[in-house]
Amino acid sequence: MALVSDVVETGYGSLTGDQRDQQGSCRDRAVDPDRVLVDQVVTGDLGAFETLVQRYQVRIFNYALTMLRDTGEAEDVAQETFIRAYRSLRRFRGESSFKTWLYAIATNTARTARDRRGRRQRMEEQSLDDYTGTLNDHLTPIVAPTAETALITREVIDRALANLSDNLRVAVVLRDVQGLDYREIAKVTGVPIGTVESRIFRARQQLRTLLQPLRSGGRSGNEPMQEMNHAVR
Amino acid sequence: MLCDEVRPMLIRHLEGRLRADEEQCFERHLEQCNMCQEALEIQQRVAEVLSSRPVVRTPLGFSDRVMANLSVQGWLAVLDWRAWTFRLAPVAAGLTVVAVLGFGSTEVESPIELSEVVAEWTIDDNSVVLPAFSLLWQEGVTSDTLLEVVLTADPEDPLSY
């Protein structure tokens, strides 16, 4: 469990989803902005790799956290992701961006960690309904975003995501939490874009009830509470 | 246009990836279909909530640990016998060649003559005190020598004929 003070900001920047998409599409079409650093790493420049780690560590760590919901395991997975990337960098042919390639490694590493944990022990999940009751008590007086409400928001979202199947979770996390565009997600997951769209659509449908505790409509938390009780029939 | 045909267009509409003619059909359907309106609203709201997930800072010293692990990995690679197997293969081949050539040029030591053995173990009265069986573990003793010693040894010797 992360400390309350660990929650420092919301989102990965000020870009909207569309802006992120445009940026992502251009990235693949044009030159990968990480390509220069990747080339330097291949020639033995360890400092260039450290720059890449610092550039992506927050994204990869948070991605692992949404997949595993355990800070320690998430750090292990993030560490292993970067180490695997470093070892395999000579085989990176640049067919996708370094970012997409890194997410693919992180996805596989997180899945392996989940499988390993599943074999080791069956997690005793508290039912989401019980948890929802507790959270409603916390959420009622929310008027401004605080470190505590940010922590609760993250917990509700991560718990809701944990109820999805692995494929749906990966797709919707990469899109809505990590901000990758559909083409990038297709490359990370190795499925056609149509399948990605379908998975994201279904994931959001399933999440609508699971995210009901978060009835705040805006990113800042200052907007009026809004019910998310619209059902898809 | 039916709802089932419109649903797959919802995502692409949100992403602004519908063609102009598709967008027109979609909008016309949406104006008269509450179910699809709600479905679209849910897609937007869930995406909005998920994108508001607070980002957690990486644990202090994360990148330092990654770089330290890479260094450790580098040292561990030295101990990787599989890597060494490939790297040392030419060296091993060279040593093998040298060994073969070296042994080939070494003169084979001539077998010990019986007279030498007898002289070594002979005391003043010229009697042989060497037990015959002790030759069994001596190097270089030929079968002929051993046979001769056995045949000529002291009758008290257990290996004497």
Q: Where are the domains of chain B?
A: 3-51, 114-152
So what's the pLDDT on residue A50?
94
Q: Which residues pair with A225 in a beta bridge?
A: A216
B113-120 long-range contacts, CB within 8 A, separation 24+: B113/B145, B114/B145, B114/B148, B114/B149, B117/B141, B117/B145, B117/B149
Distance CA A198, CA A148 (A): 34
Across the interface, whether the CB atoms of A10 and B54 are under 8 A apart is answered yes
A133 and A112 co-located in one domain: no
Q: What is the pLDDT of residue A207?
A: 94
Q: Are residue A115 and residue A157 in the same domain, yes or no? A: no
Is A197 close to B8, i.e. CB distance below 8 A?
Answer: yes
CA distance A71 to B104: 66
Average pLDDT value for residue range B90-95:
85
DSSP letters spanning chain B: --HHHHHHHHHHHHTT-S-HHHHHHHHHHHHH-HHHHHHHHHHHHHHHHHHTPEEEPPPTTHHHHHHHHHHHHHHHHHT-HHHHHHHTHHHHHHHHHHHHHHHHHSPPPPPPPHHHHHHHTB-TT--B---GGGGGGSTT--HHHHHHHHHHS-TTSTT--
Q: Which two tokens stand for residue B130?
A: 């060497």
What integer pLDDT is reported at residue A24 of this predicted model?
45
A62·B69 Cβ contact <8 A: no
Instruction: Specify the range with the lowest mean pLDDT, choosing from A48-62, B14-28, B97-111.
Output: B97-111
CB contact under 8 A, A176 and B73: no
- CA neighbor of A111 nearest in space, from A169, A157, A159, A156: A169
- In the predicted structure, residue B73 carries a pLDDT above the cut 70: no
Q: What is the pLDDT of residue A219?
A: 42
Task: Indicate the residue among A124, A149, A178 that finishes a domain.
Answer: A124
Shortest CA gap B136–chain A (Å): 60
A161 lies in the same domain as A109? no
Of the residues A124, A147, A175, which one is the last residue of a structural domain? A124
**Do the beta carbons of residue A136 and residue A213 sit within 8 Å?**
yes
Residues A225 and A171 in one domain: yes
Which tens digit of pLDDT belongs to each residue from B107-159?
556 666 777 766 666 555 555 555 666 666 677 777 887 778 777 776 665 55
Residue B46: pLDDT band (50, 70, 90) is very high
Q: What domain range includes position A194? A: 126-233
Query: What is the total count of domains within chain A?
Result: 2
Instruction: Tell whether A58 and A161 lie within a shared domain.
Output: no
The two structure tokens encoding residue A99:
């970012």
Q: What is the pLDDT of residue A119?
A: 72
Asked whether the predicted pLDDT for residue B1 surpasses 70, the reply is yes
Domain end among A90, A108, A124: A124
Say whether pLDDT at B50 is over 70.
Answer: yes
Q: Which DSSP symbol is given to A9?
A: E
Q: Which residue of A has its CA nearest to B61?
A: A54
pLDDT at B115: 73
* Chain B residue at shortest CA distance from A1: B56
Of B8, B55, B69, the CB nearest to A79: B69
Do residues A108 and A24 both lie within one domain?
yes
Higher pLDDT, B84 or B153: B153
Give the residue among A40, A195, A32, A80 at the shortest CA–CA distance from B11: A195
- Single out the residue of A61, A63, A52 nearest to residue A180, CA to CA: A63
Please report the pLDDT score of residue A5 as a whole number. 39
Instruction: List, in sequence order, every residue forming a beta bridge with A7; answer none if it has no partner.
Output: B56
- Look up tokens 């949100």; give the residue: B14
Read off the CATH number of the domain in which A30 is found.
Answer: 1.10.1740.10
- CA dist A34 and A99 (Å) reads 8
pLDDT at residue B84, rounded to an integer? 62
Q: In the block, which residue shows the tokens 């997951």?
A: A189
Q: 3-state SS string over A32-58? A: CCCHHHHHHHHCCCHHHHHHHHHHHHH
In this structure, the answer to whether residues A53 and A79 fall within a common structural domain is yes
CA distance B8 to B11: 7
d(CA A179, CA A165): 20
Q: Do B45 and A208 lie within an 8 Å CB cutoff? A: yes
Write down the residue that tokens 């718990």 correspond to: A159
pLDDT at res. A140: 38
The closest of A109, A41, A116 to A76, measured between CA atoms, is A109
* Positions of E strands within chain A: 7-10
Give average pLDDT by consecutive 10-residue segment, chain A, 233 residues.
41 43 45 88 91 96 94 95 92 88 96 83 52 44 62 90 94 96 94 94 92 58 34 30
On chain B, the residues whose CB falls within 8 A of the CB of A10 are 52-55
Query: In this structure, are A34 and A54 located in the same domain?
Result: yes
Question: Sign of torsion, CA B28 B31 B35 B36?
Answer: positive
Report the chain A residue with the minimal C-alpha distance to residue B64. Answer: A50
Question: Is A75 in contact with B62 (Cβ distance < 8 A)?
Answer: yes
What whole-number percentage of chain B has pLDDT above 90? Answer: 32
CATH number, position A137 = 1.10.10.10
The pLDDT value recorded for residue A83 is: 95
